[in-house]
Amino acid sequence: MSVAIYNTVWLIDDDELANYVNEKIISSQHFAKSTVVFTTVDEAVASLDLAAGQKGTGFPDIVFLDMEMPGLDGWDFIEAFQRLSPDVKKQCKLYMLSSSIDKSDAERAMAYEDICCFISKPLTTDVLQTIMDSKPGSSQS
Amino acid sequence: MKEKPRCLSFDKLMQYSPDLIFILDQEGILVEINRACSSLLGYDVQELIGTSIKDLVYAADLDETLMLLDAIVGGSKSNYHENRLVHKTGSVIDVSWTIGWSEEDGYLFCVGRSGAANLKAEYSKVKEDFNIGRAQHHELTEHASGVLDMLDTDGGYIYAGGAINKRLGYSSEELIGQNVFDYIHRDDVKKFKEAWIKLNNLPLLQVPGYRFLAANGEWRWLETILSNQRYNPEVNAIILISQDITEQKKSWVKTEDSDQRFRSLFENNPDMVVYENKKGVILDVNRAAETIFGFERHELINRTPSAIFPAATLPLFYERLQEAAAGKQVNFEAEIEFRKTGKHVLDIKKIPVVVDEQLVGIFTVAKDITAVRQSFNIIKKQANKLNTIFESLTDAFFTLDRDWNLTYINSEFDRLLQTNKKENIGRKLWEVFPEEKNGVFYRHYKHAMETGAAAHFEAYLSRLNAWFEVKAFASEEGLSVYFSDITNRIIAQEELKKLSVVASKTHNGVIIADKSGVIEWVNDSFTHITEYTADEQYGKSIIDLFTGAGTLQENARHAVSKIISSSFFEAEVPFTAKSGRELWLEIGVTLIKDTEGSVTRYIVMISDITLQKQAILERNQFIEVLQSSNQSLHEFTHVVSHKLRSPVANILGLTSLFNLPDIDNATKEEVIDKLGTAAHNLDSVIRDLNHVLSLRDSFDLEKTNVQFDDVLNRVILLLQDQLTQSQVEIRRDFSLAPSVYAIEHYLLDIMYNLLNNAIKFQGSEEKPLVEVYTQAEEDFIVLVVKDNGIGFDLDKHRNDVFGMYKRFHSHVGGKGLGLYLVKTQVETMGGRISVNSKNGAGSKFEIYFRKIDK
């Protein structure tokens, strides 16, 4: 059993099926020690602010963010994330995880500096592997 | 001095002649005088010799006498003269002279007879008789040719002698006791009385002429010598010796009268009269001359023309004077600037006065014609001006006198009628236009002349194949006639008539307006289209017609300027027909110009394009609908691609879990279960899509008149459970618009979704209330669904409210399809939907259904 690469991964999506699939893949890949699921952006933003205040504890290393949600949506979360200080922000990589396969959606997402990558659902082991490979010092594991 | 002529008979003559004989030298000094001077003048011969005649002649007569003597010396043949001499006692004696000039002797020979000479002689005799005695006196006086009366100091008759009284028709007895003053003419009493008083100091006095009442009531002129014999104890009376001088007086008066008349003519002549000698020296002037010269008479007498006339005119005057002096009557005009009275224009006549073939002087009579000349100039100017006016008239113009003679013709007349006024002025109109005698022109002119009424007519002149508009005005002098060539207008009218015939047959409306936009003619189609009859529009402004029927003033102005600049204008304008029916007209305006380029007419073609316009409007509406549905479809595909992809991605993700190395059976079962859910979701989306597509594809669904009440009742039935659970109160009011023309099924869906939303998004604080009511607007029926629920942030979601799969509330379930469906259904029926909402303050949806819908 290898040690998980990341401490905390956040899944922000109102689609329960998608969350189920993603959690399963993440845990089977030993991608993160803990996976936190938010089905509304409201909750996610509240936790983000809280974690940022606690100087690291509970702050996610990776966030997979869906865009289309009722009420506050993925774009609202990005807004909230942008307001954080650069020191805090650099601890976390923000991935957009969307059911869209539309190029224009990917382009729109990539216009945000804080978004690392636009990933079309479903999340796969290959995608997680790529993320892990891109982490500095990942070859040690 | 020459030797005195002496001879015996001369001496005798000088001694015995009762007439005065004076011999004078050229200077008027008495060289010789006869003895009659002592009886007539009271002087001795020796007293007078060597004295001047001037000392003897009565002062008033002196000038005249001297002048005459000069004239006689100068060769005048006039040798009769009357003057008065002064008696040594101071009394004045009339003397009639005959005077001759002896050139060889250098003497004037004057023989004078005293008018009273005979009486005087008689008187002397009488006086002697008094001395002899009264008794003898009577006898003597009875036979005396003269008269002798004796008066007391009051003028009462003591004695009335002889002939004169008889001549006057009185007997001696009648006069005695009467007072002489009662017989003397009132105007002469004063004269007589003065003499009477003077008699106190004088022995003898002559009363020169006074009127005495004759018995027949006639006034006779008497001349009387009064002798004061009051201090003569033998007489003690005033003695009168009277002579009837009525006849002399009459002739004298006549002379006096003609002299007076001449004087008066001279003095009062309104023309200036100057009497001058041949050298131009002024001898006399009248008052008019004083006025014009600006000098008084005494300042002018003995002056030469150079004193009066400006130097520039002097040569002219002297030249004319010489002509006159040569015996010729001269007549000339001169404009003279007098120093004192300014410029005068004078009409001057110089008349030489010749007496006995001798020029004695020159009368200059000058008439001041300044004013005449001025008015003449003014008249001339006016005439010129009038001529200019007549010539500058654009109309042809001529005047006729009452005998049909042409008295004036202007150039335009000649131009139009191709005549020559020089040949025609003075001729009779009917000589110039013989073919028109008794024609239409003649009739009008004749009527105007006879009635004095102005004539205004149009007539055809066959000679020139032309039409004229004629205005004739009668006056006392005759007729003033103005006319202009209207052939073009008549042709245009004819054309208009022809045009009208054509235009009346077209389906398009035609309006013909004159150059000022006044409607002259419209065709039947115009009436057919606009419902306005021809009679209603004749004489009205075309602009008013259109602006009154809905065209904006501004557009009308624009149209007018466009027409003027380009001769053509085309536009589509709204137009309200007489009945109020709204039309769209296409109008085309054409400008008709005459050969000189002036606008003569507007022709407006109108066609009714209401149907086309409606079709276009409908087409545009249809395009709008298409565009909007195209937009929706675009949106739809976008949304659908997401919404379909989502369950598909889940299925892909779930199946991939089977490949995970550490998957257990329990998990596998779980995954299979979830695959089922995912597949169900996919199915659900596809069903939704199908539903939406079916709505969009339902253009042919039939609309009916749907009652809002019915629909709401059915919706409430469908939502019974939710309503019971949520305690929502529903208030309704459809009184303003109880029904709408719509697809019933859609209306049911719409109301279901709106009500369902209102229930779902109810607020927590207030008692939930939904109001459903209708409003009627001009073109729409509005269905309003208003709740007091949580509402939403309209500013943020404005673009998404009616979007497909849009949800604003994470805590309330739903697919985000309801309002999208509502919108789709509303738009499919040709309506629209709008919303007003605020976070926490409820929502209000308004759905607009088109009222007029076929």
Judged by CB atoms closer than 8 Å, whether chains meet at A21 and B650 is answered as yes
Hey, CA dihedral for B552, B558, B560, B563, is it positive or negative? negative
Condensed to tens digits (0 to 9), the pLDDT of residues B766-793 reads 788 999 999 998 889 999 999 988 888 8
B130 and B184 in a single domain? The answer is: yes
Final residue belonging to a domain, choices B217, B252, B287: B252
Average pLDDT of B176-205?
Answer: 83
B149 and B235 in a single domain? The answer is: yes
Whether residue A104 is contained in a domain is answered as yes
B82 and B154 in a single domain? The answer is: no
B808 → closest Cβ in A28, A71, A101: A71
Whether residue B2 is contained in a domain is answered as no
What pLDDT band is residue B162 in, cutting at 50, 70 and 90? low
For chain A, say whether B502 makes contact (Cβ under 8 Å): no
Whether residue A95 is contained in a domain is answered as yes
Whether residue A20 is contained in a domain is answered as no
Instruction: Decide if pLDDT at B115 tops 70.
Output: no
Q: Domain of A128? A: 29-34+41-133
What pLDDT band is residue B129 in, cutting at 50, 70 and 90? very low
Whether residue A5 is contained in a domain is answered as no
Whether residue B665 is contained in a domain is answered as yes
Cis amide bond preceding A122, omega within 30: yes
Average pLDDT of B827-853?
Answer: 86
Residues of A within 8 A of B648 (CB-CB) are 99
Instruction: Decide if pLDDT at B114 tops 70.
Output: yes
Question: In the predicted model, what is the mean pLDDT of chain B?
Answer: 81
What pLDDT band is residue A63 in, cutting at 50, 70 and 90? very high
What per-residue confidence (pLDDT) applies to B138? 44
What pLDDT band is residue B812 in, cutting at 50, 70 and 90? low
For chain A, say whether B268 makes contact (Cβ under 8 Å): no
Instruction: Decide if pLDDT at B535 tops 60.
Output: yes
Distance of CA B20 to the CA centre of its chain: 83
Average pLDDT of A64-77?
Answer: 87
Instruction: Decide if pLDDT at B739 tops 50.
Output: yes
What per-residue confidence (pLDDT) applies to B163? 63
Question: In the predicted model, what is the mean pLDDT of chain A?
Answer: 86
Concatenating the DSSP letter of every residue in chain A gives: -PPPSEEEEEEE-S-HHHHHHHHHHHHHTT-EEEEEEESSHHHHHHHHHHHHHTTTTT--SEEEE-S--SSS-HHHHHHHHHTS-HHHHTT-EEEEEES---HHHHHHHHTSTTEEEEEESSP-HHHHHHHHHHSTTGGG-
Residues of B within 8 A of A106 (CB-CB) are none
What per-residue confidence (pLDDT) applies to B600? 81
B474 and B397 in a single domain? The answer is: yes
Final residue belonging to a domain, choices B84, B115, B146: B115
> What whole-number percentage of chain B has pLDDT above 90?
8
Residue with tokens 């739903």: B814
- Residue B742, number of CB atoms within 10 A of its CB: 28
Judged by CB atoms closer than 8 Å, whether chains meet at B674 and A17 is answered as yes
B783 and B667 in a single domain? The answer is: no
Judged by CB atoms closer than 8 Å, whether chains meet at A121 and B649 is answered as yes
What pLDDT band is residue B133 in, cutting at 50, 70 and 90? very low
Instruction: Decide if pLDDT at B118 tops 70.
Output: no
Q: Write the CA distances from B815 to B160, B786, B819, B820, B845, integer angstroms.
A: 176, 22, 10, 10, 19
DSSP classification of residue B151 = E
What pLDDT band is residue A139 in, cutting at 50, 70 and 90? very low
What pLDDT band is residue B117 in, cutting at 50, 70 and 90? very low
Which stretches of B144-245 are DSSP H helices?
Answer: 162-168, 172-175, 186-198
Taking the CA of residue A87 and the nearest CA in chain B, the distance in Å comes to 31
Tell me the three state secondary structure of residue B778.
coil
Q: Considering its fold, how many domains does chain B have in total?
A: 7
What pLDDT band is residue B696 in, cutting at 50, 70 and 90? low
CATH number of the domain where residue A59 is located:
3.40.50.2300
CB pairs A-B closer than 8 Å: 87
What per-residue confidence (pLDDT) applies to B359? 81
Whether residue A1 is contained in a domain is answered as no
Q: Considering its fold, how many domains does chain A have in total?
A: 1
What pLDDT band is residue B814 in, cutting at 50, 70 and 90? low
B680 and B771 in a single domain? The answer is: no
Whether residue B609 is contained in a domain is answered as no
What per-residue confidence (pLDDT) applies to B617? 85
Residues of A within 8 A of B667 (CB-CB) are 24
Report the residue of chain B nearest A14, measured CA to CA. Answer: B810
CATH number of the domain where residue B817 is located:
3.30.565.10
B711 and B846 in a single domain? The answer is: yes
Instruction: Decide if pLDDT at B13 tops 80.
Output: no
What pLDDT band is residue A138 in, cutting at 50, 70 and 90? low
What per-residue confidence (pLDDT) applies to B806? 73
What per-residue confidence (pLDDT) applies to A36? 92
What per-residue confidence (pLDDT) applies to B679? 92
- The helix or strand, by DSSP H or E, that contains position B530, with its residue range, turns out to be helix B524-530
Taking the CA of residue A137 and the nearest CA in chain B, the distance in Å comes to 26
Whether residue A13 is contained in a domain is answered as no
B46: Cβ contacts below 8 Å, ≥ 6 apart = none
Whether residue B846 is contained in a domain is answered as yes
Judged by CB atoms closer than 8 Å, whether chains meet at B653 and A69 is answered as no
B122 and B103 in a single domain? The answer is: no
B184 and B222 in a single domain? The answer is: yes
Instruction: Decide if pLDDT at B132 tops 70.
Output: no
Q: Which residues pair with B385 in a beta bridge?
A: none
Whether residue A9 is contained in a domain is answered as no
The ipTM assigned to this model is: 0.91
Condensed to tens digits (0 to 9), the pLDDT of residues B625-683 reads 788 778 877 777 777 777 888 899 999 999 999 988 888 889 899 999 999 999 998 99
Judged by CB atoms closer than 8 Å, whether chains meet at A121 and B641 is answered as no
Residue in A2, A24, A45 to test binding to B, most B beta-carbons within 10 Å: A24
What per-residue confidence (pLDDT) applies to B146? 43
Lowest mean pLDDT among A130-139, B358-367, B618-627: A130-139
For chain A, say whether B674 makes contact (Cβ under 8 Å): yes
B12 and B94 in a single domain? The answer is: yes
Whether residue A117 is contained in a domain is answered as yes
Judged by CB atoms closer than 8 Å, whether chains meet at B657 and A17 is answered as no
Final residue belonging to a domain, choices B548, B570, B604: B604
Alpha carbons B416 and B393: distance in angstroms, whole number:
13
Judged by CB atoms closer than 8 Å, whether chains meet at A121 and B808 is answered as no
Report the residue of chain B nearest A41, measured CA to CA. Answer: B810
What per-residue confidence (pLDDT) applies to A55? 64
Q: Domain of B156? A: 118-252
Taking the CA of residue A69 and the nearest CA in chain B, the distance in Å comes to 8
Choose from B118-122, B688-692, B730-734 the range with maximum mean pLDDT: B730-734
Choose from A31-45, B241-255, B325-339, B389-403 the range with maximum mean pLDDT: A31-45
Tell me the three state secondary structure of residue B793.
coil
Judged by CB atoms closer than 8 Å, whether chains meet at B816 and A70 is answered as yes
What per-residue confidence (pLDDT) applies to A5? 84
Condensed to tens digits (0 to 9), the pLDDT of residues B421-457 reads 888 888 988 888 888 888 888 889 988 888 888 889 9
CATH number of the domain where residue B397 is located:
3.30.450.20
Whether residue B3 is contained in a domain is answered as no
What per-residue confidence (pLDDT) applies to A135? 78
Strand order in the sheet with B20-25: B30-33, B20-25, B107-114, B92-102, B80-86
B642 and B569 in a single domain? The answer is: no
B820 and B704 in a single domain? The answer is: yes
A100 → closest Cβ in B642, B661, B814: B642
